[in-house]
Amino acid sequence: MASVSYHIANLLEKMTSSDKDFRFMATNDLMAELQKDSIKLDDDSERKVVKMLLKLLGDKNGEVQNLAVKCLGPLVSKVKEFQVETIVDTLCSNMFSDKEQLRDISSIGLKTVITELPPTSTTLAASICKRITSRLTNAITKKEDMSVQLEALDILGDLLSRFGGLLLAFHITIKQALLPQLASPRLAVRKRAIIAIGHLVMSCSTSLFHELIEFLLTELTNNSSASTTRTYIQCVGAISRQAGGRFGEYLEKMVPLIVRFCKTDDDELTEFCLQAFESFVRRCPKEVSNFIPEMINICLKYVCHDPNYNYDDDDDNEEMDTDMQDEEEDE
């Protein structure tokens, strides 16, 4: 233990050097040490390593920053819960920094920590989830900075994917934060919201699941915007893919709505409708059986449809040809 502590102390000292190459090499050596299963850090070393790596996230050299954030992954399983909480709190605070580069690297750091949290340590995972979920939902709803909002949506999706069951107390707040983003003017925001909602339905309660579906049914019935309609149908498909048979009882209401949108002239919307049909058939084969004939007819119609061909122009040209022939005959 003493030799390890001495070696770590030497590396930490080099990481304070004014020479970026020294900082880079020392951080690289530290990462190699942290990746060893046999390494054990004493309390003082833990504290100093965590403090130094968090400091290096703001380093002037990008390569040093990148190495520092990579160290966080193996470090999470080598330090005590208190130190992991310190890491997460600092990264969350950095996400709202005025410095764009620090925001970006801290977002990567949070994703890294979430990915590396030991799945067997539910106490640690639950503690971390509780510490950051409220801050993420606030960043999503406030919309003060688009880049922060996008990162928060990404990280929330990762959290729900890995630890959705540990976030039950936050599911209502998460739903309230995510649903308005489906109508965002930014496509990137809408896409990330769909992904997060897909992960949410994997662990949410039956009542919350019902609220989500009823919201989408209402919006699809009353919505007049083609852009948001496409988003809502994409969301329906994502929920169906993740929820499986749980979605089956809502097909009676959902399928007729989507069939209606298949009859529009919007090729992109039609494609999303067909993708939703595919997810229904794959995930709810029994419940969807009554709608199969109608789905087949729609699919057969579009098998020979060329979205790059302008059918209206063709009709106009045929009419012009007919008119010219009539004129020639009159002459």
The domain that contains 179 carries what CATH number? 1.25.10
List pLDDT tens digits, range 265-321. 888 999 999 999 999 999 999 999 999 999 999 888 888 756 666 655 555 555 545
Question: Does residue 162 form part of some domain?
Answer: yes
Q: Is residue 126 part of a domain?
A: no
Residue 18 has pLDDT above 90, yes or no: yes
pLDDT average, residue stretch 131-138: 92
CATH of the domain at 32: 1.25.10.10
Instruction: Check residue 263 and give its pLDDT.
Output: 83
Per-residue pLDDT, 265: 83
In this structure, the answer to whether residues 224 and 328 fall within a common structural domain is: yes
Q: What is the mean pLDDT of residues 200-213?
A: 96
pLDDT at 304: 74
Instruction: Let me know whether 298 and 222 are in one domain.
Output: yes
What pLDDT score does 245 carry? 85
Q: Are residues 178 and 212 in the same domain?
A: no
What percentage of residues in the chain have a pLDDT greater than 70?
Answer: 91
Q: Given this model, what pLDDT does residue 108 score?
A: 93
pLDDT band at 133 (very low <50, low <70, confident <90, very high): very high
In this structure, the answer to whether residues 87 and 146 fall within a common structural domain is: no
Query: Residues 181, 223: one domain?
Result: no
Mean local confidence (pLDDT), 22-38: 93
Mean pLDDT of the chain: 89
Residue 120, Cβ density class (10 Å: 0-12 exposed, 13-18 middle, ≥19 buried):
exposed
Residue 121 has pLDDT above 80, yes or no: no
Is 200 in the same domain as 215? no
Residue 249 belongs to some domain of the structure? yes
Of the residues 116, 140, 173, which one is the last residue of a structural domain? 116
With 60 as the cut, is the pLDDT of residue 1 above it? no
For 96, the domain range is 1-116
Confidence category of residue 325, pLDDT binned at 50, 70, 90: low
* 199 lies in the same domain as 212: no
Where residue 223 falls among pLDDT bands split at 50, 70, 90? confident
Q: Indicate whether 327 pLDDT > 60.
A: no
Mean pLDDT of 97-118: 90
Query: Which one of 153, 183, 204 terminates a domain?
Result: 204
Q: Which of 101-115, 181-195, 316-330 has the lowest mean pLDDT?
A: 316-330
- Averaged over 244-259, what is the pLDDT? 93
Q: Identify whether 124 is part of a domain.
A: no
CB of 46 within 8 A of CB of 80?
Answer: yes
Is the pLDDT at 8 greater than 60, yes or no? Answer: yes
Instruction: Give the count of domains, the chain.
Output: 3
Residue 212 and residue 331 in one domain: yes
pTM of the predicted protein model: 0.85
Say whether both 197 and 212 belong to one domain.
no
Q: What is the pLDDT, as a whole number, of residue 122?
A: 79
For residue 37, being part of any structural domain is answered with yes
What's the average model confidence in pLDDT over 141-164?
90
